[in-house]
Chains A and B, each alone.
Chain A
Amino acid sequence: MAIKTQSSAIEGLDNLELGGVPQEPRARRIARTAWAAAWPKLLAVAIVIVLWQLVVATGWKSYVLKGPTVVFPTLWGLMHHRLLWQAVGITLRRAAIGYALALVIGSVVGAVVARVPPLRAGVGSIITGLQVMPSIVWFPFAIILFGLTTPAILFVMVLGAAPSIANGLITGVDYTPPLLLKAGKTMGLRGFNLYRYLILPASLPAYVAGMKQGWAFAFRGLMAGELLVLIIGQPSIGVLENNYQDLDFFAGATSILIIILIIGIAVDTLFTSADRAVRRRRGLLEPGAA
């Protein structure tokens, strides 16, 4: 018994570096966190709706600009059709596949480039150059390569997102404290293990930031692609928006914008909570704080 207490006290020593254990009851903490996360967003939404209604009330472009009182019922109506969910499904599936590809390619390239100096000098600047290229300029090229197909869209998503992810990882590796590296090597970490147990965890914050930025680029590429690469028989979010514009169904087009916004916010929430988990683990955040 005494021995066990002693050993857990020793275990606790190296936990000092990381965050403490939350004291509050779990359910209450979750509710508090949820509310703290939700109210600024709800307020922002309310402000946007009020401004929107004000602009509509002035009668500006009244044939095309539809107010919240028209758009929300339209959105509700669209949500009762299979077509919308089919489109959201296709878009999200492309998002997942494209982003997963970008994650793998970006991580591998980032890891290799970060640790091989000659590559670093040569490829590093190319990666940054790729990162600042607007994804839309790739589409003519992608359409030539792949035709009007899903791979054309995925290609552009990967080109947009992978550089950000690679750059995030490279930055993270750069900022790994040399002391840690030395300690790791002294303890016999080499090659893949050095990456797996030391460099990767140490570069996690910058890596997660890069992944988040990569998602933003991937999603932009996806949306641009869906508006440009209209694939027969695959109703995506972009195709619906295009169609509603062609049909002068402006409340519908506005509804699609809201759906794109919701998808964006939902994914951002995922990344924010991942980022928060990293920070909490490192004691950079009050346990249980928002």
Chain B
Amino acid sequence: MKRGLIAAGVAAVTLLAAGCGSSAASSPGSGGSSSSPAAAAPVTLRLGFLTNITHATALVGVKQGIFTKDLGSSVTLKLVPFSTGTLEATALLAGQLDAAYVGPNPAIKAWQTSGGKLIKIISGAASGGAELVVKKSITTAAQLKGQSLATPSLGNTQDVALRYWLKKHGLTTTQTGGGDVPIKPTTPNSAAVLAFQSGQLAGGWEPAPYDAEMVAAGGHVLVNEASLWPKGQFVTTNLVVTQAFLAAHPSAVNGLLKGQIDANNFINQNKTAAETAANAELTSILGKGLKPAILSAAFAQIKFTDDPIASSLLTDAQHAVAVGLLTPVSNLKGIYDLGPLNTLLQAAGEPTVSS
């Protein structure tokens, strides 16, 4: 009797698991066969993004209805906001997102963890917009010894940048907050600003607008990350899609890319309107918007470009390897699929980008 029950339980769980497995495996396949004849078949696109101004392309694109227009009526856009890129990378790996605006290091991590099978970077979105802000009494790297600093999360883009910069200045860090400079990954970023304000942290390497908020909270900029890169250009935000979604719904991805280009054009042409839109979207997600001064300061740091600045991605990966947050990646070149983007850029008469 008892044994029979256990056997039945095992069988049930196995069936359940097998069911999940086959449905996950079959959905891209079935979509692939139907995508070319019936582009209007309803599709849900789950798009992840961060609630930072460095992701303003997503914020503005959503608020202004640019994505909805470019994706067409057959695509239902489901927005999934995150507070840090590492959580977003985990969600991508767990199959909870089809596309995401994500920083370079989480993108590399998702690429590497999946053995190059999960994602492709199909566009850049933003360059710049990260700073090391510390209390005013600290004016040199050496003074940081023993001071606690915040980053958005362990292994995210700013975390790698801070650890690498400290290493270059001869200061050690560990993943558990030891070493010369204790690093305290703090999620959400606004909590880092509060901890800085209350004196629990000496500063942090944060993406816009949180660097600007730290300055407003009495800090000063010790390092503007742009000063560390050739021509001040480095990728902060990429647009990635899962390879399964790209293969199954190329027209939806095309719509997303169109939205990406249009959103960046809107930001670059209507600065004030873009700031208002981004802030309105942030307010509706977080329940709290940014002060006008911080909003403008954040936008001023960032260059919104569709160029993924491929050279900086490779350097980012090398930095992560150097600080022990990544094992060396050999096939990083294959991470890009910029063909569809370039086709759209060419059609619009804009300069193309390269991987």
Interface positions of A (Cβ within 8 A of B): 47, 50-51, 54-55, 58-61, 63-64, 83, 87, 147-148, 230-235, 239-240, 242-243, 245-248, 250
Contacts and interface: CB of A to CB of B under 8 A. Distances in A.
A147 B176 CA distance: 18
Given A60-B21, A63-B94, A235-B176, 18 more contacts: A51-B13, A58-B18, A58-B22, A61-B24, A61-B95, A63-B93, A63-B95, A64-B90, A87-B176, A232-B148, A234-B177, A239-B176, A243-B176, A245-B90, A246-B185, A247-B154, A248-B89, A248-B93
B113 interface: yes
A248 B94 contact: no
Interface of B: 6, 10, 13-14, 17-18, 20-22, 24-25, 86, 89-90, 93-95, 109-110, 113-114, 118, 148, 153-156, 175-178, 182-185, 200, 325
Given A233-B182, A248-B89, A55 B17 contact: yes
Contact of B20 (A60, A64, A231): A60
Given A54-B14, A63-B93, A248-B110, A233 B155 contact: no
A147 B200 contact: yes
Nearest to A247: B155
B200 A83 contact: no
Given A59-B25, A83-B176, A239-B176, A248 B86 contact: yes
A232 B154 contact: no
A246 B86 contact: yes
B177 A232 contact: yes
B312 to A, nearest CB: 21
B175 A232 contact: no
Contacts of B25: 59
Contacts of B154: 242-243, 246-247
A230 B195 CA distance: 13
Contacts of B114: 63
Given A83-B176, A233-B177, A246 B21 contact: no
A247 B109 CA distance: 8
A248 B154 CA distance: 10
B113 A63 contact: yes
A230 B186 CA distance: 9
Nearest to A248: B113
Contacts of B90: 64, 245, 248
11 contacts: A63-B113, A232-B177, A232-B182, A233-B177, A240-B176, A242-B154, A243-B175, A246-B155, A246-B185, A248-B109, A248-B110
